[in-house]
Amino acid sequence: MKRSFLIKPVLDEMYPVIDYGKGVYLFDMDGKKYLDAASGAVTANIGHGVPEIMDAMNEQAKKVSFVYRSQFTSEAAERLAEKIAELTPGDLNWSFFVNSGSEATETAMKMAIQYWQEKGIHTKTKVLSRWVSYHGITLGALSMSGHTGRRARFVPLLEDFPVINPPYCYRCPYKLEAPSCQYACARELETAINRIGADKIAAFIAEPIIGAAGGAIAPPDEYFKVIKQICEANNILFIADEVMTGSFRTGKMLACEHWDITPDIVTLGKGMGAGYAPIAAAVASEKVMKPILAGTKQVMSGHTLSANPQSCAIALAVLEFIEKNKIMSQVESKGNYLRDQLEKLKEQFLFIGDIRGKGLMLGIEFVADSSGKKPYPRQALITQKMVSLAKEKGLIVYPAGSGIDGVNGDSIMIAPPLTITEKEIDELIVLLNETFTSFANDSG
């Protein structure tokens, strides 16, 4: 068999060839079954092989699969935009559809810069961000990403947009605790703005819960209120990157809603197409769109396949499936159930340092010494070992960095499809327990 160039093994092992998926499971060509506790890359939000999505795919294909965004829109794109406007808070009414999370954050960045230009301000071109963050792999998105591992090779091509620490309470750089810390890490934004100059800054971007770079690091309750106040006081737009946290991953359409925050621009991706189609979006508020509509009249971004009717019909079917089956209202209780089981594993295995996250986006950080929170040395490759051991057992977990600097430290995320049942969570925990037992035995 010829192998796809995408299948470059990480640990000298050939990737299994998947035959089919059903619900929370994937089956490879050798008949091995995997419980997908990572939803791939926190993407397959409604599980695999959902017939309603295949029907929607078929129906749209019978109508039209492609129209070019500079000439036409489609019923599917318009209905999807309407649905997103209905489900998101505030007046986030304008969806710009693209094909990946990186395109979405990069579009959001360009929208923010364009917003100020339309108002006659041409100096505001920086989009500040945090260390221990991931906003995508294209150069604009990577410029905003504070993921040192992924930046490393391309640093000469990147802007220095990450400027502040993340709200990583487990290893607070100030050795403080919320709320008595008064959100010192959020207030770093004010210091950075004063240093750089608000007249140069278009926006600040953040993931509501830090995913790939940190392993589900959720902020303390008032954190984003402080961030939003600082942005408003300094005439800086706030972009919430909800590529991973949005689309009901934490129980609400946007994770920002947990803290009553409405961003000026929000990005969606991953769970939006739930793996059935490559689709993502930068969704802008009326405030952002008003000067653009009064000025150039178009967002200065776009791709050939933006707002692809087929992808839009699929994303709409995903949202309708979630609504019809009231999946969002089950995320909190399923998340709590899963978290309780993970806490029990933490009591059993001393190398589990922290359990964190929200809804069905949970993280586990590993430590060499749980009382001192000492991380394993980087070369021990603990995350990769855990992922590999789990895969051997038939369990897929998501490899994430830890909040130390995105390179050192180890964590994984457990983020199964939102459709997972309690019985399947029990099975997940059995497989995770076996994984941790093997790790404990291997490391003597």
Output the 3-class SS for 215-251. CCECCCCCHHHHHHHHHHHCCCEEEEECCCCCCCCCC
Choose between 212 and 253: whose C-beta lies nearer to ligand PLP: 212
Options 49-57, 59-67, 195-203, 240-248: segment touching ligand PLP (CB under 6 A): 240-248
CA pair distance 152, 15, nearest whole angstrom: 26
Q: CA 290 to CA 279: how far, in whole Å? A: 25
Work out how close the CB of 277 gets to ligand PLP at its nearest, in angstroms, rounded to a whole number.
Answer: 12
Residue 168 per-residue DSSP state: -
Q: What is the DSSP letter of 375?
A: P
CB of residue 135 to ligand PLP, shortest distance in Å:
5
Spatial CB neighbours of 74, under 8 Å, sequence gap ≥ 6: 64, 67, 307, 309, 312
Shortest spacing between CB 271 and ligand PLP, in angstroms: 11
Q: Rule CB under 6 A: is residue 100 a binding residue for ligand PLP? A: yes
Length of the chain: 444
Query: Would you give the binding string for ligand PLP spanning residues 368-397, x where CB under 6 A is met?
Result: ------------------------------
Kindly identify the residues of this chain, within the stretch 104-123, that bind ligand PLP according to CB under 6 A: 105
- What are the CA-CA distances from residue 442 to residues 366, 413, 436 (Å)? 15, 22, 10
Size, binding site for ligand PLP by CB under 6 A:
16
215 touches ligand PLP by CB under 6 A? no
Question: Site residues for ligand PLP, window 38-67 (CB under 6 A)?
Answer: 41
387 neighbors 401 (Cβ within 8 angstroms): no
Among 220, 269, 273, 406, binds ligand PLP (CB under 6 A): 269
Q: How far is the CB of 378 from ligand PLP (least distance, A)?
A: 21
Does 207 engage in binding with ligand PLP (CB under 6 A)?
yes
Alpha-carbon dihedral of residues 129, 133, 139, 140, nearest 10 degrees?
-30
Q: How far is the CB of 129 from ligand PLP (least distance, A)?
A: 11
Residues that bind ligand PLP (CB under 6 A): 41, 100-102, 105, 134-137, 207, 211-212, 241, 243-244, 269
